[in-house]
Amino acid sequence: MSLLHQLLAERDVLLADGATGTNLMAMGLPAGQAPDLWNLEAPEKVTRLHESFLEVGSDIILTNTFGANRCRLALDHASDRTVEINEAAARLARAAAERAGRPVVVAGSMGPTGVLMKPYGDQTPEDARAVFSEQARALAAGGVDVLWIETIFAFDELAAAVEAASETGLPVASTMTFDTAGRTMMGNTPEEASAFVQALPTPVVAYGANCGAGPAMLLDTICGFARSKAPGDVIIAKGNCGVPKTVGGEVVYSGTEEIMGRYARLARDAGARIIGGCCGTTPAHLGAIARALEDYQPGDVPDVSTIEAALGPLDRPKAGGSRRRRTR
């Protein structure tokens, strides 16, 4: 039994961590530079970010490797350092977790390749599996407990990532991202995503949603998973800290600690068992989530009016608007 399985068997809810990229930017990461490079160039800052999440109670910390696959790293002329970067990131997170004095799951973050799959782009399933396999093997070698595939918007890319990650023998978790229409970029609903994950040849230990258009939309997505999950499914909620706005030349997220606390409780009501934050979620926000979940007894799955009253309007596209569902 993996550590993640063990903790899920012992506890009703686990606290994931918060944002990586936006917090590293606040710590001095230059605009436009890949956060993944800091695993080698500023490891003390990556370590400090992990420690700050652990200090407020994170049970799961994600490695700083969201964009550390060779396709994404090629943009920074660093694809030849893919293995080095991923192994270094895993070691940094593992060391921080071992100093926590309690069980902490180290999750190897794997984001999308950034290349569209055929017929929309040039990438084949074999290409995608090779890219994900290289990263997954490096993260495993660095000592992660689980491979955490996140911010995926296409089923075929998710299938390739899960297959590649599962070949390491480690447990796999996955989250997709959904937009203001309540669908992935390829037009799929949370209910369709749930059915797709449930039918994968290799089962995942947990699945859900991350990023998106703020906590209200994320909660609406999690409710979709709640309506379609199978018995025993573990749902992940890892939403952005509000909506980003540019203030004085800087990107600021609208979510407050109070809002993120409400989001966490509603996510628990919707059945999520792993809850954290994505873009804009600072250690202070995550601390508010931890306090909100402490001894919280979940209620009924929230409806739209409950979500909007707590977190603001969902802002769905109006019927008859220009947005169209994409087909595959």
What number of other Cβ atoms are within 10 A of residue 313's Cβ? 11
Let me know if residue 328 belongs to a domain.
no
CA 55 to chain centre: 20
Pinpoint the alpha helices (H) of the chain: 3-10, 21-26, 38-41, 43-55, 70-73, 82-98, 125-142, 155-166, 190-198, 215-228, 257-269, 283-293, 304-311
Digitized pLDDT (tens) for each residue of the chain, 328 residues in all? 899 999 999 999 999 999 999 999 999 999 889 999 999 999 999 999 999 999 999 999 999 999 999 999 999 999 999 999 999 999 999 999 999 999 999 999 999 999 988 888 889 999 999 999 999 999 999 999 999 999 999 999 999 999 999 999 999 999 999 987 888 988 899 999 999 999 999 999 999 999 988 899 999 999 999 999 999 999 999 999 988 887 777 778 888 999 999 999 999 999 999 999 999 999 999 999 999 999 999 999 999 999 999 998 887 655 443 333 332 2
Instruction: Tell me what pLDDT residue 319 has.
Output: 44
Let me know if residue 323 belongs to a domain.
no
pTM over cut 0.85: yes
The single residue listed with the structure tokens 């069980």 is 103
Instruction: Tell me what pLDDT residue 147 has.
Output: 98
User: What range does the domain containing 256 cover?
Assistant: 3-311
Let me know if residue 317 belongs to a domain.
no
Instruction: Tell me what pLDDT residue 325 has.
Output: 31
Contact status, residue 6 vs residue 14, Cβ threshold 8 Å: no
What is the full DSSP assignment across 105-122?
EEEEEE---SSPBTTTSS
Contact status, residue 86 vs residue 147, Cβ threshold 8 Å: no
Let me know if residue 316 belongs to a domain.
no
CATH of the domain at 300: 3.20.20.330
Let me know if residue 74 belongs to a domain.
yes
Let me know if residue 320 belongs to a domain.
no
Please return the burial class of 318, using the count of CB atoms within 10 Å of its CB with bins 0-12, 13-18 and 19+: exposed
| Residue 134 DSSP symbol | H
Q: In angstroms, rounded to a whole number, what is the distance separating the alpha carbons of residues 11 and 30?
A: 39
Number of H helices, E strands in the chain: 13, 10
Residues β-bridged to residue 110: 149
53 three-state secondary structure: helix
Q: In angstroms, rounded to a whole number, what is the distance separating the alpha carbons of residues 176 and 117?
A: 16
Let me know if residue 40 belongs to a domain.
yes
Instruction: Tell me what pLDDT residue 31 has.
Output: 83
CA 94 to chain centre: 18
Contact status, residue 108 vs residue 146, Cβ threshold 8 Å: yes
Query: What total of structural domains would you count in the chain?
Result: 1
Q: In angstroms, rounded to a whole number, what is the distance separating the alpha carbons of residues 136 and 157?
A: 14
Let me know if residue 60 belongs to a domain.
yes
216 to 262, 264, 266: CA distances (angstroms)? 10, 11, 10
Instruction: Tell me what pLDDT residue 323 has.
Output: 33
